[in-house]
Amino acid sequence: MAVGNVELVKLLPIKGIKIGIAEAHVRYPNRKDLTVFALCEGATTAVVTTQNQFCAAPVQLLRQHLQHASPRYLLVNTGNANAATGEDGKHRALATCEALASLTNTTAAQILPYSTGVIGETLPSERIITGLPKALANLDEDNWLAAAHSIMTTDTVPKGHSEQVTIEGVTYTVTGISKGAGMIRPNMATMLGFVATDAAIAPDVLQTMLRDSVAMSFNRITVDGDTSTNDCCTLIATGKADTAMIDSTTHPHYAAVYQAIASVMLRIAQLIVRDGEGASKFITVQVIGGNTSDDCAKVAYAVAHSPLVKTAFFASDPNWGRILAAVGYAGVDLDQSTVNVSLDDVRICERGGLADGYTEDQGAAVMSRPEITIHIDLGQGQASDTVYTCDLSYEYVKINADYRS
């Protein structure tokens, strides 16, 4: 079901990070649903979290913990989001952190909790606590692919990527995994993303890298426009590449390491769209010629969220008027006569009307492709922005009408 190339490269281990996995029967039996990341001493960690006001209990707790200690463990469960669960939800999230702390001789504040799954149900914290020793028993540097599997919910494929970059004789490795297929319109981060590098990076620099790379990856994808209660993206730098700390954005290694991180972020964010619920097409919406990048993003999101545009792509119908209608209601002042639109290399709209020489056959041919870029030129200025999305199919309705049953 996932669209196009969703093959994973070999996920490279990151020195200083071990991952353990267990079956804790959070929602279903016989499913790997508990994942523990153990970080080496000295690792730096940055996290961006959802802007949803109904953010889940673990998200609230994670924010507190980040203020008080340097993380040593990440504790992730699937099957239950522990969201809209009130005070009880916070107590249960804390109980799982305390249990892991006592097993590992750390403090609860050194544990970051993450939950994903159904909203509004009580977290079975006892079963998670029971599963922790099993997860700790198989901690291994080479468990990234297994972790990509164990954090899946409605995902149909595991999502991960690795890159290496060598600069001045030092080779840095970056590996990341993500999960998410529905309730996807990240707002600071996607459902769950974990990215790590063996570079040594100062905390404030790491936060900058995370913010910038998320802005152009997880914050530029949308499946259904629903921002999750549990979105978190975490970036860890272990420092095990044994070189000097990258302590500013002008450090000679900054650009290369940032590029590798951004590349991994973009790949694992796009994989979420490729695996979007019911997706049969991967659509890039590229808007140029705007007065501001914010205007371009508004237009791109209006197009990417329009159910009429998305169903037309599902049907491979070059019903480009729906694209223009969405451009028109994006909330951006525009002059119809300066707007041009192409699908891949086929110009369909010129100066707000039908392009000279355009034929329905050309449109139908490009719409039948599994990967399509919508180019929209507003003809106003120099700004641009790009958003990634998928089509809207029967399957989307089926998955979300059936999810809890």
Query: Per-residue x/- marks for a second copy, 137-176, CB under 8 A?
Result: ----------------------------------------
From 131, 314, 366, 389, residue interacting with a second copy (rule: CB under 8 A): 314
From 86, 105, 242, 361, residue interacting with a second copy (rule: CB under 8 A): 86
Q: Judge residue 353's burial from the number of C-beta atoms within 10 Å of its C-beta, 0-12 exposed, 13-18 middle, 19 or more buried.
A: exposed
Sheet holding 44-49, edge to edge: 44-49, 232-237, 192-197, 170-179, 159-167
- Is residue 311 close enough to count as binding a second copy by CB under 8 A? yes
Residues noted as catalytic? 190
- Is residue 319 close enough to count as binding a second copy by CB under 8 A? yes
The window from 6-14, 128-136, 166-174, 334-342 that contacts a second copy (CB under 8 A) reads 334-342
CA–CA separation, 297 and 279 (whole Å): 22
- Is residue 84 close enough to count as binding a second copy by CB under 8 A? yes
- Is residue 338 close enough to count as binding a second copy by CB under 8 A? no
| Long-range contacts of 302-307, Cβ-Cβ distance < 8 Å, separation of 24 or more | 302/326, 302/327, 302/329, 302/330, 302/331, 303/327, 303/330, 303/374, 303/376, 303/387, 304/222, 304/387, 304/388, 304/389, 305/185, 305/222, 305/225, 305/389, 307/392
- Is residue 114 close enough to count as binding a second copy by CB under 8 A? no
Which residue number, 92 or 274, has a Cβ lying nearer to a second copy?
92
Helix or strand holding residue 288 (H, E)? strand 282-290
Phi, psi dihedrals of residue 72, rounded to the nearest 5°: -115, -25
Paired sense of beta strands 232-237 and 192-197, if any: parallel
From 320, 342, 376, 385, residue interacting with a second copy (rule: CB under 8 A): 320
The window from 13-21, 70-78, 135-143, 392-400 that contacts a second copy (CB under 8 A) reads 392-400
The window from 235-243, 247-255, 331-339, 367-375 that contacts a second copy (CB under 8 A) reads 331-339
Residue 137, classed as helix, strand or coil, is helix
* Crossing angle of helices 57-68 and 86-104, rounded to 10°: 50
Question: Binding site for substrate: which residues?
Answer: 153, 179, 190, 277, 400, 405
Binding stretches for a second copy (CB under 8 A): 51-55, 81, 83-89, 118-122, 182-183, 185, 187, 224-229, 305-308, 311-312, 314-315, 317, 319-322, 324-330, 332-334, 336-337, 349, 351-354, 392-394, 396-398, 400-405
